[in-house]
Structure 1
Amino acid sequence: MTVEWELSGFGDEIDADPRVQAAVMRALGASYIEVRSAWGTNIVDLGEEQLAELKGILDEAGLKASAIASPIGKVDVELPVEHEVERLGRALRAAEVLGSPYIRIFSFYYEGRAAEDVRDAVIERMTALARRAEGTGVTLVHENEKDIFGDIPSRVADIVETVNSPALKLAWDPANFVQVGVKPFTEGYELLRPHVVYLQVKDALFATGQVVPAGEGDGEVLRTVEALRDSGYTGFASLEPHLAYAYETGGFSGPYAFGVAARAFAKVLDAAGVASI
């Protein structure tokens, strides 16, 4: 039987206009889109009218939201617990309107301090976020972003296993692991696979940290895709190319480079015998 994964992608890496985002995703054959911002406004800051308009645009294009790519947890760990719990409420509202099953989150910056010194504060905050999401039907997926507490496999595992909530799982980002000196598949896959429910697609080079199309860097993307295939993974694969530039809350590629990224990943999937739908 053919293994099939749902193709998605970060729409605002294509254009600020959600109509352009939707058109390009449909042209690539995708039925899903990951929503981080629209009209230049982050998803957690969109008002009710904007969310309704965005839902209409996606419906018209025949697209569904695979995830809300929120910035929750991309703040200093010293901020009060309630700060991000309140913002998560807005992300949950966006997920409700757009029908998204996932919300991406992070595990806090801690510049100038040792990881072990902020561990308890991180766990407290991640637990509060998970508890807020429990019962909503939405799953939070932690992304292994560089420079946050959960940037290396051991600390990612610590978070998800200590919080131990059905509402908190993992998104796998190979490029981010590379950028903190981790060989993603070799050093992280076996430890984290039981908790991985979402795949973000980008690759990077160890030598420079530069983000490159999937399969062209050191992110062991093909090995990971093959292992996910063999483990029965049938979830989303979401393109987040970052091929033009990256910034604190995201990145940008533009329509052409986004297409380059999509074609590169299609080659990886083809080599692994996985179809994207």
Structure 2
Amino acid sequence: MQAQWTLSGFGDEIDPDPSVQAAVLAAYDARHVEVRSAWGVNVVDMDDEVLGRVKRALDARSATASAVASPIGKSQVSQPVEYEVERLRRLVRVADALGTRYVRIFSYYREADQTPEAVRDAVLERMGRLAETAAAEGLVLLHENEKDIYGDTPARVLDLVSTVDSPALRVAWDSANFVQVGVRPFDEGYAILRPYIEYLQVKDAYLDTGAVVPAGEGDGQLRETLAALVKDGFTGFASLEPHLAASPSEPNREGPESFGRAARAFAALAAEAGAVLV
């Protein structure tokens, strides 16, 4: 039997309107949207009125949310512990309303003169509190590796998830983000992080420039990674986050054409690896 992965995508890279987001994703046989913002309102700032409009827009297209793509942890580690805990509590109703248990998070910025080692204890304290909060609410936090946060390299991501040691804290694997910190993702990260990988964020990048490109066109070792995930029996979401926009004024806005290019590239790679996107 072929592996089946559920296709999703960051809708706000297509258009601010969730109706358009869902329609474009449906054109590529995706019935899920990773909800980060709608009409310019970030998920952490959505009131009941905006949240209701998002839900109705998705329902009208028979689409559902794969995850809430929150900005939790995209803050200085010097902020009080409760700062992000309170923001996570605000997202509980968002996740409930959208029918998902997944919330994407990050692991904090540090000052320019601080080393990762210097902030490790503070980061782990905050991540532990977030995981406790998520577990109490039935949520699963998906840590996205990203440059400039504590969990940017495979070793530090492993440190986070293994030290916190909670089923409410899992890994959202992003090959491009690893490349942007000088990592060859499959060679250096896959084996140690595979037990924690719950979700894929799909994009690729060049090692020399860090420029983001469609899946398979860069140095993110996506062919090796996808083949290994099929072999290992991964089942879960694969969420397109193309980051191909050319406009500096709207760096996260792809439009349907660029998003389609990213979707076609990933579909070809997934098929080559033996995975069916549903």
Provide TM-score, normalisation by structure 1.
0.97
In structure 1, distance between residues paired with 2:46 and 2:136 = 23
Equivalent residue letter for 2:25: M
Change (3 A) 1:36 1:3: same
- Measured after TM superposition, the shift of residue 252 of structure 1 is 2.5
Alignment of 1:6-21 (within 5 A): 6-21=6-21
- Measured after TM superposition, the shift of residue 246 of structure 1 is 9.2
Runs of 4+ in 1 over 2 A off after TM superposition: none
In structure 2, distance between residues paired with 1:246 and 1:168 = 34
Aligned to 1:43: 43
Aligned to 1:133: 134
- Measured after TM superposition, the shift of residue 101 of structure 1 is 2.1
The alignment-based identity, stated in percent, is 59
Equivalent residue letter for 1:185: F
Alignment of 1:215-226 (within 5 A): 215-226=216-227
Aligned to 2:73: 73
In structure 1, distance between residues paired with 2:188 and 2:253 = 28
Alignment of 1:1-150 (within 5 A): 1-112=1-112, 113-150=114-151
Ranges in structure 2 where 5+ consecutive residues have no aligned partner: none
Q: Figure out how many residues of one structure are paired with residues of the other and give that number.
A: 276
Aligned to 1:202: 203
In structure 1, distance between residues paired with 2:246 and 2:88 = 27
Say if 1:241 and 1:252, in contact at 8 Å, map to a contact too: no
In structure 2, distance between residues paired with 1:252 and 1:225 = 26
In structure 1, distance between residues paired with 2:275 and 2:38 = 31
Equivalent residue letter for 2:108: F
In structure 1, distance between residues paired with 2:264 and 2:233 = 24
- Measured after TM superposition, the shift of residue 276 of structure 1 is 0.3
Aligned to 1:258: 259
In structure 1, distance between residues paired with 2:177 and 2:83 = 25
In structure 2, distance between residues paired with 1:189 and 1:101 = 24
Say if 2:22 and 2:31, in contact at 8 Å, map to a contact too: no
Aligned to 2:191: 190
Say if 1:25 and 1:31, in contact at 8 Å, map to a contact too: yes
Provide TM-score, normalisation by structure 2.
0.97
Query: How large is the Cα RMSD of the aligned pairs?
Result: 1.4
Say if 2:32 and 2:65, in contact at 8 Å, map to a contact too: yes
- Measured after TM superposition, the shift of residue 30 of structure 1 is 0.6
Q: Secondary structure at the match of 1:237?
A: strand
